[in-house]
Amino acid sequence: MVSFLILSMGLVYCQTEQNVQTLSSVPCLKHMKITTGTAHPTLAKEISDYLNLPLTDATVTAFPDGETFVKINENIRGEDFFIIQPTCPPTNHNLMELLIMVDAAKRASAGRITAVIPLYGYARQDRKDQPRVPITAKLVANLLSAAGVDRVLTVDLHAAQIQGFFDIPVDHLHAKPVMVKRLKELLGGEQMDNLVCVSPDVGGVKNARSMADSLGVDFAIVAKHRVSATKVEAKHVIGDVEGKNVLMIDDMTETAGTLCAAAEILSEHGAKRIFAGVSHAILGDLARERFDKSMIEKVIATNSVPQAYGNKVEAVSIAPLLAEGIKRISNSESVTSLFDI
């Protein structure tokens, strides 16, 4: 309960029964409100149900020419306001919708605006690896900050250093605890003892190594060669997979070329059962068709995007993970324990 405000030497303070905080660093907030765009309303509803907090009513629609229109239909003045919106396909539309929602919230005098972005789009364009190309992941960070975002909550960035592209706080959660829990239910103790974690390419070694350490199992790598944006050739396996159950770990898949090519060579090297664990399954018809024809028995993905479905795809919910992150951010609590398995 705010009792009074003190103006002294150009600084504004928020006096409460517990402490005194400088408003220049911590806004004097009322309480938490959450809303969503049109990118993934199902996930937003799951988060809302977990928090037992109704979604703030907002109108998000389009003019005849395709321009996005947003109106927040409730008072959010001074609120700790969270906007849930993955920038999944259609990526440009969902990103622009998020920016417009942030601007609407800022002009409605929200106390603090946190963008909850389960999938951070353009994350693969995180470096200048060719002449005259953009670093679009940095551009998106700039756009979010310029629009008025005070904080970002996201899951399994394609490259962890993207956090450094922001000059605002970024809470980077990991889906690993959720996926490990489901994998243990799926395989059981005896088959878990015979498990090997595999990186389907050299770039994913760190993630796969981390998962292997968490599970206490062996580790292997598939070396690949990318022929084109949709075609990948797997070449070699580094490590022993013969007679083993294999879990391939990837942060993101769109066409499933890398995973399916890796599964083929793992099968040739004697792998027994092959699974895949994917944080963001941005799947199209080509990917689902490839999975159906592949040696992969099941793909365990999160529901960070609505495209995560298929005959061999099982989406596990990260709504509790994100809801706990939202709650702890609002209460100024640590999110570190959410990484524990």
Which residues have a catalytic role annotated?
Answer: 224
Burial of 43 (0-12, 13-18, 19+ CB in 10 A): buried
CB 302 within 8 A of CB 86: no
Distance (Å, whole) CA 126 – CA 221? 23
CB 153 within 8 A of CB 322: yes
| Residue 33 DSSP SS3 | strand
> Tokens for 220?
């292997």
Residue listed under structure tokens 């059962």: 273
> Tokens for 116?
């909850």
Distance (Å, whole) CA 90 – CA 38? 11
CB 39 within 8 A of CB 89: no
Closest CA to 102 of 129, 52, 158, 140: 140
| Residue 306 DSSP SS3 | coil
DSSP states of 226-292 as a string? E-SSS-EEEEEEES--TT-EEEEEEEEESS-HHHHHHHHHHHHTT-SEEEEEEEEE---HHHHHHHH
